[in-house]
């Protein structure tokens, strides 16, 4: 570990909420540079998402209702990391549960923090190929529609703004770049 990186000193910490999906803390801290601040922080287990690509270079998106937006959106199959599960294992699990897809090959293509101003969520994105399709097994509170999009359709989803979700936009832009350079 590189411990030369700057770190905060915590003056006081208050856990405001601990739920199923997240915890909320309000911490009084002294940050590097002697900056005193009160920080509201959402702690999250981390997330995994998979760009599944079939033999015709089509990609799989799922459409589901998201309560936080009170709307349905197109997204990569994705979910929370389960306990100490490895990200790749979580990505394979979610792809099979949400979409019934098993992958012969899975490779990491991106890692990022979704919104580090107030949240520690990490997002691991994988690209899955050599796919086998089977029945989905969604959670009781999930209603999921599946659709495969051709490369031209992916270009359109990006340019029209029809995809407007962070992880999905990152993955589709990476796939677009891969196609254009390859």
Which residues bind to its own copies, rule: CB under 8 A?
5-8, 16-17, 19-22, 24, 26-27, 29, 31-33, 35-42, 44, 47, 65-73, 75, 78, 80, 110-121, 123, 140-143, 161, 163-167, 169-170, 173-174, 176-177, 180-181
- 3-class secondary-structure state, position 62: strand
CB of 137 to its own copies, least distance (A): 16
The DSSP symbol for 119 reads B
Task: For its own copies, give the closer residue by CB, 20 or 55.
Answer: 20
CB of 79 to its own copies, least distance (A): 8
- CA atoms of 98 and 78, how far apart (whole Å): 8
Task: For its own copies, give the closer residue by CB, 104 or 161.
Answer: 161
Spacing of C-alpha 1 from chain mean position? 25
CB of 132 to its own copies, least distance (A): 27
For residue 114, give Cα distances in angstroms to 11, 120, 135: 26, 8, 30
CB of 154 to its own copies, least distance (A): 12
- 3-class secondary-structure state, position 177: helix
59, two tokens: 């990609």
């Amino acid at each position: 570990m590189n411990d030369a990186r700057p770190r905060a000193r915590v003056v006081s910490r208050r856990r405001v909420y601990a739920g199923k999906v997240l915890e909320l803390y309000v911490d009084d801290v002294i940050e590097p540079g002697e900056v005193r601040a009160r920080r509201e922080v959402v702690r999250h287990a981390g997330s995994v998402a998979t760009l599944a690509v079939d033999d015709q270079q089509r990609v799989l998106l799922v459409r589901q209702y998201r309560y936080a937006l009170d709307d349905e959106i197109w997204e990569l199959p994705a979910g929370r990391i389960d306990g100490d599960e490895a990200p790749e294992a979580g990505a394979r699990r979610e792809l099979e549960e949400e979409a019934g897809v098993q992958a012969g090959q899975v490779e990491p293509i991106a890692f990022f923090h979704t919104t580090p101003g107030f949240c520690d969520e990490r997002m691991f994105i994988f690209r899955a190929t050599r796919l086998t399709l089977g029945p989905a097994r969604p959670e009781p509170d999930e209603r999921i529609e599946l659709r495969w999009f051709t490369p031209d359709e992916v270009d359109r989803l990006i340019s029209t703004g029809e995809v407007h979700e962070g992880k999905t936009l990152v993955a589709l832009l990476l796939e677009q770049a891969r196609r254009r350079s390859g």
